[in-house]
Amino acid sequence: MTDAKAFIHFAQAFHHGETEHHSYVVAVGERAKVEALARAEHARLRGAYGIAIYRTLPDVPTQENFRLVGYLSSDMGEKWTCSQPDESQQAA
């Protein structure tokens, strides 16, 4: 298992109602700060976007190493899930 201090966290906002599937990165950094900035952005957007919070490792392909650690739903009430298997399943 990787040391928790090695992780980088990032928050990404998603607008599901647009045909272009618009998204943007809200914040990158330490988990508590990223989560606080994500909550502030979510409140500012007033439910128009959902915001996913991920963790990853530096210097590796994010698409192969990300994990969803939190999600702030848009006013559509969607649930966001991670397509990556749980690490406990990978270790087995």
Range of the domain at 70: 4-75
**What's the half-sphere exposure (Cβ side, CA atoms, 13 Å) at 57?**
10
* Residue 56 within any structural domain of the chain: yes
Query: Quick check: is 90 in a domain?
Result: no
Residue 88 is assigned to a structural domain of this protein: no
Secondary structure letter of residue 4 according to DSSP = G
Q: With respect to residue 11, please indicate whether it lies within any of the assigned structural domains.
A: yes
Tokens (6 digits) for 22: 């618009």
Assess if residue 49 is contained within a domain: yes
| Residue 39 within any structural domain of the chain | yes
Total tally of structural domains belonging to the chain: 1
CA distance 53 to 35: 7
State pLDDT tens for residues 25-69. 999 999 999 999 999 999 999 888 999 999 999 998 988 888 999
Record the pTM: 0.78
Asked if residue 66 is part of any domain, the answer here is yes
pLDDT tops 50 at residue 3: yes
